[in-house]
Amino acid sequence: MGRKDKGEQPDPAPYGEQCKYDPSFRGPIRQRSCTDIICCILFVVFLAGYIVVGILAWLYGDPRQVIYPRNSTGSYCGIGGNRGKPYVLYFDLLQCVTSLNILATAMNGLQCPTTQICVASCPDAFWVVPPVGLLPGTKPADVLNQAWCEPSLNLSLTTLTVSQILSRELCPRYTIATTPIFNRCFPDFNTPAMDNFSLPNRTPNETKQLISSGAQQIVKSLNAKDIGTKIFEDFASSWYWILIGLLIAMVLSLLFLLFLRLVAGVLVWVLILGVLAVGAYGIYHCWREYSALRTAGATVSNIGFTTNLSVYSSVQETWLAALIILAVVEGVLLLLLIFLRKRILIAIALIQESSRAIGYMMSTLFYPLVTFLLLLICVAYWAMTALYLATSGTPLYRVTSSNSSDPRCSGILGNDTCNPMTFNASRYLPCPATGCTFHTYDAEGLFQRNLFNLQIYNALGLLWGANFALALGQCVLAGAFAAYYWARDKPRDIPPCALGGALLRTLRYHTGSLAFGALILTIVQLIRILLEYLDHKLKGAQNPFTRCLLCCLRCCFWCLEKFIKFLNRNAYIMIAIYGKNFCTSAKNAFKLLMRNIIRVVVLDKVTDLLLLFGKLLVVGGVGVLGFFFFSGRIEISDPQFRSPSLNYYWLPILTVVVGAYLIAQGFFSVYSMCVDTLFLCFLEDLERNDGSVEKPYYMSSSLMKLLNKKNKKAETK
């Protein structure tokens, strides 16, 4: 029973058969054909549509809506006929703050039901029309200020009285001290005179409360112009020191990668023993705390359940549980170290070989600049398209009045559209002080009705384009490093311009495969974004079951995204070597890795540990150096090399730290790709060859020595 019949075939291996020897294989295949053509065509069509969307957005959009404010007639302040008048003055801020926040009103394009005009500067004084100014016979020019009135009104020539001008809102009834924020004149609450200023029939406190409603906290907490000016000054005085800090980060990253060839083994064992030492100290500390609390400390039965977690630090069972957990983890790590020591040595040898490969092909370290440029293009195109789409539509104007509560205005205000160029206020009498005010942007056209769909298309274009740029970089680097591994005599047999050849080969034959892998990842990322959006929108309205379901879905798709990134990365390596389509390459890579799963885990964790240490070394070193320099803690006698005087010394420090991280990430991503590529090639080398004269190994002598293998030499007569 269980015995196979004579003619029965054996069961295939669960993860496929090992690679067969191919005498014609000499590294990345040169004679190859195009792969995943349908997806390539789909990607090209999508890009063509993306360009069309960008053109339509450029034709219909107007980003000046974001940059420049509008007055009541919809004209932009600061350009065109209002050149030299960049600020918007609100005649009656009380009408703005009764329903909408001033800042939100201005930024969203919604206008307050009061006249707004473009002015050259914001008022800096408190003023109210005096009672004597309303008496008959008073000249408007003696009471009102021409700078704060409608440009169409000439106070010296007008026949209107002051009362008529104010009722028609051609000039403001009062002005207050304001400061420009986002080119809007907002109240300046830092002015001491504000405490004594009052409107008619209002106390100073009531006046201040009314005017500051909805705007006071914004103006107090954010003076955008002041902060922006200080930030600009800091960057202007420290930019060359920031560049020096980034240059230091680049040199440190490069030296770390090159020195790994010499110190990788020592460094890995130091890091591993360091982790074990930290665990051992944790066990000792937990035992010491438990011993101290065992006689006089509280117990769980005495404390019970409490939400004050700090209480549990004085409970003896807490330290006992931590002691047991740390001891188990420490024991597992020691057992893994004992049984996996040989695989750790193989991982170290591969890391050293990767450093040697980068040393022979230094141009690969600068390829991330190409990827960065492509990502920058994707993000810039997406941002500009989103901006133009959001600002598309022609402006719409509505009839408004400062006396909107007047029963004579019912049925007129807020419904009738108008044209500010041909508006005639006499048509709407007896409704007083009517005007044609900008309301919003037309959303009724075919293009405007589909803005949401176009924004989704724009977001899809960003994700697909960015993922394609990353995939291109991975495949190109894999092709270059695979050419290094399969060179028989290194460095003599390494192809010249291996990186350039891999780039041309990838673009010519495998654009469709890269687009296919990028599309799969993009779909998963879109679903994750949708889940995050739903979680944000349903927060507060969802029951516990819905929260649990959304949390599980987010966790599952996060794991799925990580797995797809891992699978895509190895599929691109196989594409670069063998030139097969995406699905076949992903399947072969997955089976090859699963046949060597323990080696995969060990190499992955050892590499992650090394690169994490490298990032901490580069970013931490540059960050500490930047902190001591920009904060003035490093005393330098020569004023030429002394740190500049800064408003916010943390700003250049933060810039240097972020820049150092991006530089280290770029260098180490190349190194990580090199390790993964050489690892797959190493696994295939073990399966294809046996060290005989006909099938010699391509791996380095150090790897063969670790595996107790060697190449047999041909017998000479």
Could you give the CA distance from residue 236 to residue 238 in angstroms, rounded to a whole number? Answer: 6
Q: CA quadruple 467, 480, 257, 370: dihedral positive or negative?
A: negative
Q: What angle do CA 420, 425, 427 make, to 5 degrees?
A: 115
Range with the largest mean pLDDT of 278-282, 297-301, 471-475? 471-475
Query: Sign (positive/negative) of CA torsion 545, 550, 551, 556?
Result: positive
Please tell me the distance from the alpha carbon of residue 641 to that of residue 634, in angstroms, as a whole number: 11
Type of residue found at 636: I
Structure tokens at 275: 């982790």
Average the pLDDT over each of 88-97, 296-305, 310-319 and give the range with the smallest value: 296-305
In this predicted structure, the answer to whether residue 211 has a pLDDT above a threshold of 70 is no
- The residues, any chain, with a CB within 8 Å of residue 452's CB and separated by 6 or more, are none
Phi, psi (degrees; rounded to nearest 5) at 87:
-110, 150
**Of the candidates 615, 601, 611, 603, which has an alpha carbon nearest to the alpha carbon of residue 671?**
611
Between CA 498 and CA 509, with CA 503 as vertex, the angle to 5 degrees is 120
- Quote the pLDDT of residue 654: 85
Q: Find out whether 461 and 50 touch, Cβ atoms under 8 Å.
A: yes
Average pLDDT score over residue span 488-494 = 81
- 297 vs 288: CA distance, rounded Å: 13
- Which pTM value belongs to this model? 0.75
Euclidean distance between CA atoms 122 and 186, whole angstroms: 9
- Tell me if the bond preceding 140 is cis, omega within 30° of 0: no
d(CA 437, CA 91): 13
pLDDT > 80? residue 437: no
Contact 108, 454 (CB under 8 A): no
Confidence band, pLDDT 50/70/90 cuts, at residue 209: low
CA–CA gap between residue 361 and residue 497 (Å, rounded)? 9
Q: Collapse the DSSP code of 307 into the 3-class scheme (helix H, G, I; strand E, B; otherwise coil) and give the result.
A: coil
The pair phi, psi for residue 532, each rounded to 5°, is -65, -40
112 token code pair:
């307050």
Helices of type H across 189-315:
204-212, 216-221, 224-296, 300-303
In degrees and rounded to multiples of 5, residue 179 shows phi and psi of -135, 140
Beta carbons within 10 angstroms of residue 310's beta carbon: 7
pLDDT for res 571: 94
Instruction: Give the DSSP H/E element, type plus range, for residue 441.
Output: strand 434-441
Rg (CA), the chain: 36
Q: Is it the case that residue 399 has pLDDT exceeding 50?
A: yes
Contacts of 294 (CB under 8 A, 6+ apart): 316
Q: What is the pLDDT of residues 624-679, one digit of tens each?
A: 888 887 777 666 666 666 666 666 677 788 888 888 888 888 888 888 899 899 98
pLDDT of residue 510: 93
Q: What angle do CA 707, 712, 714 make, to 5 degrees?
A: 165
What would the two tokens of residue 592 be? 């090859």
From the list 544, 385, 511, 519, the residue with the least C-alpha distance to 451 is 385
